[in-house]
């Protein structure tokens, strides 16, 4: 039964919220309310790894956001998936376990003025929630809730790409999570015995039984309630079963709704740029111009190559017999294509000699298709998607209406800087260089997309605008920063500037995007907040 008052209220049961709910409810003297706008994670396709195909852009599990038409992508609008279900985006993502590079965290430490965000401190948090298949060592932990496993399949074409990358000076790597991910190898994944592991299953399965933790799904938060005189957050207002309800919080309200959702809630609550809120008729609680700004994402450039002499998933899944064999392999062995993450092989590389550390990430797949949601091609091919890990382009997220059902305006501004355009052209050129290596020669690779007609730098940039698409890593829209930073929304302890007892702990807090996939870093942020709140509780 819903109470009217809790010690902690957490909004969003995703990668951050689930971890935080478990940690804070470990203290039996504290009551915790976890609110999730989506449904329970009892949809079968969430738990079968290949089920991301049926979860992304599905209203059962996805908010189904879209970006505004982007000039940097020749006016194209993209789907912008975010999980709307217990487990959040960990229920629909690519399951890749990736921390980024040590310099990412040292930069966070520098811009926030807090050494607790540095690499060595972050590493300890990763080890605390990790259960690593290879056992405990200097880099990994065991016994935590977040299982990290090797993938349960291999494809010959991926081995070819791996050898070709090594021919171009990219060393083999068995572990991308030691602080320097330069190399080529197979991604580790968040799976357990061939099933997807989402954060709801990892952190809430046992914690949900605690009497002091109350979890409500299909609870759409309309706004944070704030005392206008004292500027204290008092709780939240949300709609559940068509009834508007208000609950109060005695200690902290924590937004874990993600780089899109947390912005929407803050702006509806009167926290954001004053001129934007005034236009929507929202009473201003605090003028924070950085809310919704600083959007960063990894733009992937999907290059497709036809090949001969090697079978890929395109033709393996083409026939009824092939599909049946794939299904049987998963049914009896929990392996094969149904157990695979969207991308199996990864590589981290330098786009040019002028880069101080690896600035590209490859996601290599033994398949190809025109765009997400369409059928696989009827010819054997592989896809090499390459991302600029540290883009300089910045976008924004803002509400268009006070109506909590109205879609936000997501402006990505991809390829809006000369630096990002330069890296895009270099990325395509490097991919061609890898595919031209000796290892590929027996298989006669033929560039299908974008096509060999693009040769000059200007032509390659044009091609990037045609084929670029999100790889679903939005961050930074409520960034942490120093007190003197006018665009900072949060301080180093994730407190919202100008409002007491309100924090944000999710990917929106990142001042700079990490050099890799963003799910695990989001969990690390939640682990940091758990440390802070547990310490605060002990100190009374």
pLDDT per residue over 231-262, tens digit each?
999 999 999 999 999 999 999 999 999 999 99
Task: For 256-305, write each residue's pLDDT tens digit.
Answer: 999 999 999 999 999 999 999 999 999 999 999 999 999 999 999 999 99
To the question of domain 5-538 being in CATH 3.40.1190.20, the answer is: no
Compute φ and ψ for 269, nearest 5 degrees.
-90, 0
Closest by CA to 393, choosing from 455, 462, 456, 476, is 476
* Burial 49-63, CB ≥16 within 10 A → b, else e: bbbbebbbbbeebbb
- Cα 311 to Cα 335, 380, 410, 427, 429, distances in angstroms: 18, 6, 39, 26, 26
Candidates 242, 264, 262, 241; CA nearest to 253 is 262
Q: Widest CA span of the chain, in angstroms? A: 73
Burial 492-514 (b: 16+ CB within 10 A, else e): bebbbbebebbbbbbbbbbbbbb
Give the pLDDT confidence score for residue 470 in this predicted structure: 96
Distance between CA atoms of 345 and 332, rounded to whole angstroms? 24
Is 214 labeled as catalytic in the residue annotation? Answer: no
Tell me the pLDDT tens digit for each residue of 500-523.
999 999 999 999 999 999 999 999
Q: What is the pLDDT of residue 1?
A: 63
Per-residue confidence (pLDDT) for residue 540, from 0 to 100: 62
Give the residues of the chain that fall short of pLDDT 50: none
Dist CA 12 CA 37 (whole Å): 7
- List the end-to-end C-alpha distance of the chain, in Å, as a whole number: 28
- The pLDDT, as a whole number, for residue 435 is 98
Identified catalytic residue from 140, 298, 398, 473:
473
DSSP 166-189: HHTT--B-S-S-SS---EEEEPPB
Residue ranges covered by each domain of the chain? 5-538
pTM of full prediction above 0.95: yes
pLDDT of residue 529: 98
Contact (Cβ atoms closer than 8 angstroms) between residue 529 and residue 8: no
pLDDT tens digit sequence for 88-103: 999 999 999 999 999 9
């Amino acid at each position: 039964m819903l109470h009217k008052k809790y010690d902690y209220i957490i909004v969003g049961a995703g990668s951050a919220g689930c971890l935080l709910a478990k940690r804070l409810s470990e203290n039996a003297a504290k009551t915790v309310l976890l609110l999730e706008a989506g449904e329970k994670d009892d949809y079968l396709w969430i738990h079968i790894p290949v089920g991301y195909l049926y979860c992304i852009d599905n209203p059962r599990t996805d908010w189904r956001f879209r970006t505004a038409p982007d000039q940097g992508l020749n006016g194209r609008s993209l789907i912008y998936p975010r999980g709307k279900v217990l487990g959040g985006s960990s229920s629909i993502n690519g399951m890749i376990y990736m921390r980024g590079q040590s310099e990412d965290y040292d930069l966070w430490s520098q811009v926030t003025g807090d050494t607790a965000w540095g690499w060595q401190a972050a590493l300890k948090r990763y080890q605390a929630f990790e259960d690593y298949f290879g056992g405990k060592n200097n880099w990994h932990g065991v016994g935590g809730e977040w299982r990290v496993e090797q993938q349960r399949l291999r494809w010959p074409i991926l081995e070819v790409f791996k050898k070709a990358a090594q021919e171009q000076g990219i060393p083999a790597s068995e572990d991308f999570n030691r602080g320097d991910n330069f190399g080529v190898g197979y991604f580790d994944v968040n799976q357990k015995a061939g099933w997807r592991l989402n954060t709801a299953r990892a952190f809430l399965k046992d914690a949900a039984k605690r009497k002091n933790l109350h979890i409500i799904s299909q609870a759409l938060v309309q706004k944070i309630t704030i005392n206008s005189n004292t500027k204290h957050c008092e709780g939240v207002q949300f709609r559940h079963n068509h009834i508007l309800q208000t609950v109060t919080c005695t200690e902290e309200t924590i937004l874990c709704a993600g780089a899109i959702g947390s912005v929407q809630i803050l702006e509806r609550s009167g926290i954001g740029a004053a001129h934007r809120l005034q236009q929507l008729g929202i009473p201003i609680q605090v003028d924070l111009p950085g809310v919704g700004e600083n959007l960063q994402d990894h733009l992937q450039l999907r290059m497709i190559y036809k090949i001969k002499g090697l079978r890929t998933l395109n033709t393996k899944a083409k026939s009824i017999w092939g599909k049946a064999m794939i299904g049987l392999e998963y049914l009896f062995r929990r392996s094969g294509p149904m157990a695979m993450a969207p991308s199996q092989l990864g590589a981290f590389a330098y786009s040019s000699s002028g880069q101080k550390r690896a600035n590209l990430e490859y996601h290599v797949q033994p398949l190809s298709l025109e765009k997400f949601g369409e059928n696989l091609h009827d010819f054997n091919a592989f896809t090499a998607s390459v991302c600029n890990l540290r883009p300089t382009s910045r976008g924004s997220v803002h509400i268009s209406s006070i109506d909590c059902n109205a879609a936000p305006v997501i402006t990505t501004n991809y390829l809006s800087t000369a630096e990002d355009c330069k890296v895009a052209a270099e990325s395509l050129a490097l991919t061609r260089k890898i595919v031209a290596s000796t290892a590929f020669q027996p298989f006669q690779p033929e560039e299908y997309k974008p096509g060999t007609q693009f040769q000059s730098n200007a032509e390659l940039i044009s091609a990037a605008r045609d084929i670029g698409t999100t790889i679903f890593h939005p961050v930074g829209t409520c960034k942490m920063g120093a007190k003197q930073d006018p665009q900072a929304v949060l301080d180093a302890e994730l407190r919202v500037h100008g409002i007491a007892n309100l924090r944000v702990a999710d990917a929106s807090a990142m001042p700079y995007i990490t050099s890799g996939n963003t799910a695990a870093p989001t969990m690390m942020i939640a682990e940091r907040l758990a440390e802070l709140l547990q310490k605060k509780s002990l100190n009374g």
